[in-house]
Amino acid sequence: MAEAERIIGTPDTPDDDHQQTAAAGAAAGAGIAGASGEAATDGAAGRQASAAHKPGRGRRIAVLFSVAAFAYALDLISKMLVVARLEGRAPIRVVGDLLELHVIRNPGAAFSFGAAFTVIFSLIAAIVIVVIIRLARKLYSFPWAIALGLLLGGALGNLTDRIFRAPGVFEGAVVDFIAPKGFAVFNLADSAIVCGGILIVVLSFYGLDPDGTVHKD
């Protein structure tokens, strides 16, 4: 009898089965947890790599609006000064016959073009401002921040004149006062717009996009 029990062996008890099942479940759970941890680590690494690829969007946006605020303030203050002190008077020579300060009211676009389309130019300026603000959400390029800031500041400067100056809202005449010899009279807002536009052309020529990527045709 004892010999038979030795050959057959003692059968597993229910407690032994439960312990084996629990051990297997724990091992599987550890495997799943390990895989989840690796996936989370990979995801975090991917996000960090992406952030490292395009850092500092907030700083670029701050640059954009700082440049815009500076250009706008400079244009606004200069117009207030020349209207108060120079309008209605003889032109003032700054550099001989090459450059004068001569205040005029311009109902047209930059450099006195298109005087018959004041309302249209006002609407275009408003659209440009909205587009630039929307574009700022994906801005990662410092040079583009400067270019768009110049455009924004210049557009705001001339749009302020069109809204608040006579003869009426969106029909106001822009104050121009910089008069080079043999050239149209303009203001600092016009200068900011032109400089911003030239910078955008240069950036596009070199394939630099607002999101910081560089493409080659």
Residues that are catalytic: 176, 190
CB 182 within 8 A of CB 99: no
Distances (CA, A) of 191 to 72, 91, 124, 214: 11, 20, 17, 28
User: 82: closest CA among 97, 95, 70, 100?
Assistant: 100
Helix axes 142-164, 188-205, angle to 10 degrees: 150
**Residue 176 bridge partners (DSSP):** 104
Phi and psi based region of residue 165 (left: phi greater than 0; alpha: psi -120 to 50; beta: remaining): beta
CB 71 within 8 A of CB 154: yes
